[in-house]
Chain A
């Protein structure tokens, strides 16, 4: 009896979380009837892929898709490279200024960095990076959260391994690249996946840096549907589904990495 009420409660909350997705999907694959009517249709009516085909005709969705993949891949690569390099000394080396550096990194979490793009646009303009993917990617490469997570990962590696390597005369670089990085591979995967989803989802900054519609990532391009197809809600819904499909799939197949990412953040 207790288990049944437990499940009922879980189901009720799950419905609230998932229903908007379901309704958008129903809207996207139905072709008949009024979307906004009482009672609304909660089940597909005359299902077909027509609305999705419309999306492909209306916007260059393949280019958007390619751009998104490219931006996400580059962000992941550079973030893993630079943030793990920064996290390593913070976790395992005693050097002057460590506390200060760590404090500065934490400070970026407090300040409203969400509007840094106002000044960053001036910087990117001065560096002639407007309309380049470098401009889109660079400001997102180093984040406090990634450094904190990877620092946590490095701290869990037993000191014996490092000491043994030092005795063998390995340089700091060898220790880092040959011993430490392979050992924290699961954490690199976690940060990588979180970063890929974040980069995929970002929409304000790329819409500022890129001016040619062909160069937009999907998250920005999908809003184009609202402009060109102001009337056809079903096509917008179909575009929405196409946009979130990759992140949803990535999340569902790699759930444990997401759960672990947070695990580290707590500590």
Chain B
């Protein structure tokens, strides 16, 4: 091995060792355990597809899978909303810093606190219902988290609320990298605001939009922490997501193989959708 090779691997070794143990091993060993009846108290046996048959017959997991796909509906809202926000704060208006900070604050808030705060907000006698009934947008207070056809959307809203600021900063950074002279040249050519946005800004932002969309799709598929702190899967199991099922079975019911089978299925979804995204959202004008 050459000197450079040796040095490089020495630099990488500690990090790779930890990644191997805590990132790759869980995927590899977890995938294996998904096909067994592993438990801490007895010998492990290969059971083939039994765990998968079980979870696909299980109403909670099937609902969870469906809900994880419904979560994907959020992606355009998050991305368009975040891009819009970034455009709104991409200027030097007095006090703009404080607005950027305000939009980002939900991102740095721990999810357990988010759960408590939005629990207050969604309360039947809470602030949200007060505002909505006062504005006559709803006739009577709504049980956001206790109604089985609404709770999932309430959770999706909270993840949107938590995610917007993060993507906003990504887009803001990209917007600031768009050369000003391109905009000026377009102004001289008589392009209006709208044309400049679609003809210059959006094409320049294409790589960022691609990365953010993929991250957002993956985040939507993997959502489960908000479920845990807001509804714990209820009411009537209507807010299970694919990973929440894995979390619930693995941690609360100690059914590890089932949990890992669910996580295996979600991995396949994530890989498949990431590949699809990479194929269809290729940068065009390169």
Contacts and interface: CB of A to CB of B under 8 A. Distances in A.
Interface of A: 3, 6-7, 9-10, 13-14, 16-21, 23-24, 27, 35-40, 42, 82-83, 85-86, 88-90, 93-96, 98, 101, 104-105, 108-120, 122-123, 138-139, 141-142, 147, 172-173, 176, 197, 200-204, 208, 219-220, 222-223, 226, 233, 236-237, 240, 243-244, 247-248, 250-252, 255, 258-259, 262-263, 265-266
Contact of A266 (B18, B21, B117, B208): B208
Interface in B89-112: 89, 93, 97, 99-106, 108-112
Given A23-B120, A240-B113, A115 B250 contact: yes
Contacts of B260: 118-119
10 contacts: A10-B99, A20-B121, A35-B120, A95-B5, A96-B5, A112-B221, A112-B222, A116-B30, A208-B251, A247-B109
A77 to B, nearest CB: 13
Contact of A118 (B97, B112, B246): B246
Contact of A201 (B26, B108, B118): B108
A201 B110 contact: yes
Given A36-B125, A89-B11, A112-B263, A236 B97 contact: no
How many residues of B sit at the interface, in one of the four size bands?
35 or more
Given A83-B15, A236-B116, A115 B263 contact: yes
Question: Main SS of chain B's interface residues?
Answer: helix
Contacts of B130: 38-40
A116 B22 contact: yes
Contacts of A86: 11-12, 14-16
Contacts of B165: 17
A220 B110 CA distance: 10
Nearest to A89: B8
B101 A110 contact: no
A83 B130 CA distance: 48
Given A38-B130, A252-B101, A141 B18 contact: yes
A10 B173 contact: no
B194 interface: no
Select the residue from B16, B23, B263 with max chain A CB neighbours within 10 A: B23
A199 B35 CA distance: 33
Contacts of B100: 255, 259
Contacts of B243: 112, 114-115
